[in-house]
Structure 1
Amino acid sequence: MSYDMPPKTIWAVRGGSSKISSGEKHSYRMTAVLSVRADGAKLPILFIMRGMPGGLIEKNEFDDFPIGHHYAVQECAWMDARVWAYYLRSLLKPQVHAPSVLLLDSFDSHVSDRGVRIATEEVGCLAAPIPPNATSAVQPLDVGIMAPFKRHLRDLWLEEELIQGDDEEEDVDMMTVTAQRKRLAMVQRGIKAWARITPQEIRRSFAKAIPQ
């Protein structure tokens, strides 16, 4: 996710202004980890922010973020082995109440021996890695969920008041007021966009990706 998410095409009245800033190239970013079940259920989102584990963002901001979702920091706002283990143990495990198959892309952390062991032995899932370069065809999120989710993010971005300020801070924790406001705005936007995804869309995605 980027803070600035302009749509692909902008129509504006001649002489007027359109809501386009510097765009996504230098925009503040974070990762939103989305999970769905074949019955149409959505799991909470894991938001991964750029920061130092155990640092100021984690200590000062997490308690103020919306409840019901999960939050982590990583130096590049990306998934790694540590964050993946947190996802499996803290987010996924409480959601697994029966034998389950966990579809995974081929990202290193997902298919590592440690990651598969946690998923199998601690969470109780059968880990099923998807072959490389096949997610667009057989991964339900890629097949039918990511496109509408990103569209909802863009629509919500257009409705927001733009937060002005420089994102390119040397401090990895980025504790400026602007950065803090953008983190909260992105979390709220992601939650709203996720709420717009329907169970019917999820079930259709599974049916298309994994036909009976």
Structure 2
Amino acid sequence: MHETGLYYELSPEKPAGRGRAARKENCGERLTVVFTVNADASDRMEPMFIGPGKLPEPTEELDTDSRNFHYQNNKRAWMTPVMFQDYISAIDTRMRDEGRYILLLVSTAPSHVALGLELTNVRLEILPSPMEPLPISMQTSMQPLDAGLIAAFKRRYRRYHMLYALDRFEAGRQDVFHVEQLQAMRWARHCWKQEIPEEIIRKCWAATEILVPKPNPETMAAFESIEEDIDKEICDTVSALEILRPLPIDEFVNPRDENTGIHCAGLEETDFIFTVPDNAGNETKPNSKKTSPNAADGAKQQVIMPPTELTPRLQELHARIEASASSAAAAAASGLGLTPSLTTITTGDSTSTATGSVEDVLGLSSSATKSVDGPATNEQLIECFKVLLPELDRLRFDDHTKKSIRTTFRKLKETAEQQALDRKRGITKHKPQAHQHSQFQTQVQMQEQQAQALQEMQQLQQQQIQQMHQQLMMQPDQQAQAMAMAAQASQIGENTVL
């Protein structure tokens, strides 16, 4: 879990002056955004936004994608201890409901006060700050979000903003960098949830060396190449905007003071006088009524955004990203063997899929034979499903197949989690069976040895019986011979006497 500031109206042009007013005009308004994600990128939580004012009430006309933002507010749009504890408690409640136990890594910050928190399913670990005497290039962050993940998010947000600004510039609009706060929040959520590949999240976790070794140089170079391509796209767009004195790309993506003052160590009444943005983006009169800090920090708002203005370049970007995702999903479906086995049949306006169980196709059911050509492990299957699930609608599977695919994915995840848990405990499901099998083999070997020993004893006894029989058979001959010898001796004795 980590916070970052976001100048959502930032101009790529260097400020005209060095004063605070010039800098404020160049940067525009700021939001604080809170991100939380786990090591394998399977649980990318909804971002929490902290803004300077309340948001409009929900309306019925807007699409569901614009609903249910996690939003809190105070005058300075900063994180406070009450907000922090409320956010951590909400995560703990969710983990308790799901029966999960997690270790949550949090950076050291004035607002990160754990005193008084009673958590059952979350262990909170506050990470130490990097050593200040070292140069920034030599400092290693233990916070995965600070190891390149937030930079990847901002890079994608700036690309959105610049493409939007270029369309406004070519349409002759004034103030081309102006963005409504709600629209900025929608872009930010989309970039976080949809545009950052899972591989980048895992790479940033690996870079901290908390769980796994650092990625090899080839892997790092591949990810850096992706980010460099986005940087180049931003620079090309800025050039098309005819900016005379553009900021360096690194300073534009990550302004130096963007994270300054996003944490508050305490609470003040004056921090909770709210302003409400109207539809034109202007601030109305501040509310005369002051809200208590507890009430302000404790309130989560379900907010609705006005329809986003999709300019031509943003539509093109969306189409490019969706085409890439659809292509990857189609490849995943083909790899799983779903495309040839569950064929799509189009009849008029409706589409249907040939009946069949996804588990049967994958060889996971008891009645099915596992495919030799398919993915060999649950982990490989899960990776394919993660690519496939977001694009099910575009692949035109019918509702029955979609449900079957989601059910199979859930079962695979549960099995993989149970196997991982068993491995951690040192007793896998296969060990008792292997132990029983080894005991059975030992018993069989002992029985075979006993049978062999018994057979040898029987053979020895038979030999002894044969020897005794032979001796008995020889006894009559020996007796006759003895009697003859005795008679002969007696006759010799008589002759001697005469």
Q: Same fold (TM over 0.5)?
A: yes
Once the 2 structures are TM-superposed, how far is the Cα of residue 62 of structure 1 from its aligned partner?
6.2
**Using the alignment, how far apart are the partners of 1:37 and 1:8 within structure 2?**
36
1:50-199 equivalences in 2 (<5 Å): 50-51=52-53, 57-58=54-55, 60-61=56-57, 66-90=66-90, 93-94=93-94, 97=98, 98-114=100-116, 117-118=117-118, 120-121=119-120, 124-133=121-130, 137-161=141-165, 182-194=180-192, 195-199=194-198
Once the 2 structures are TM-superposed, how far is the Cα of residue 141 of structure 1 from its aligned partner?
0.4
Question: Are the structure 2 counterparts of residues 62 and 190 from structure 1 closer, same or farther at C-alpha, using a change threshold of 3 Å?
Answer: farther
User: Which residue identity does 1:70 align to in structure 2?
Assistant: H
Contact 1:102 1:127 in 2 (8 A): yes
1:23 to 26, 31, 38: 26
Once the 2 structures are TM-superposed, how far is the Cα of residue 182 of structure 1 from its aligned partner?
1.5
- Tell me the equivalent position of 1:45: 47
**Using the alignment, how far apart are the partners of 2:188 and 2:34 within structure 1?**
10
**Using the alignment, how far apart are the partners of 1:109 and 1:28 within structure 2?**
21
Aligned length: 174
**Using the alignment, how far apart are the partners of 1:61 and 1:145 within structure 2?**
32
Question: Are the structure 2 counterparts of residues 153 and 6 from structure 1 closer, same or farther at C-alpha, using a change threshold of 3 Å?
Answer: farther
- Unaligned runs of 5+ residues in structure 1 are 10-21, 52-56, 166-177
- Percent identity, please: 24
Contact 1:31 1:77 in 2 (8 A): yes
Question: Are the structure 2 counterparts of residues 62 and 8 from structure 1 closer, same or farther at C-alpha, using a change threshold of 3 Å?
Answer: farther
Give 1 or 2 for the bigger CA radius of gyration.
2
**Using the alignment, how far apart are the partners of 1:8 and 1:201 within structure 2?**
29
Contact 1:6 1:154 in 2 (8 A): no
Question: Are the structure 2 counterparts of residues 68 and 61 from structure 1 closer, same or farther at C-alpha, using a change threshold of 3 Å?
Answer: closer
Question: Are the structure 2 counterparts of residues 157 and 100 from structure 1 closer, same or farther at C-alpha, using a change threshold of 3 Å?
Answer: same
- Unaligned runs of 5+ residues in structure 2 are 1-5, 15-24, 132-138, 213-498
**Using the alignment, how far apart are the partners of 1:150 and 1:99 within structure 2?**
30
Residue 5 (str. 1) matches residue 4 (str. 2)? no
**Using the alignment, how far apart are the partners of 1:132 and 1:140 within structure 2?**
13
User: Which residue identity does 1:36 align to in structure 2?
Assistant: V
Give the alignment's TM-score, normalised by structure 1. 0.70
More contact order relative to length (CA 8 Å, sep ≥ 6) = 1
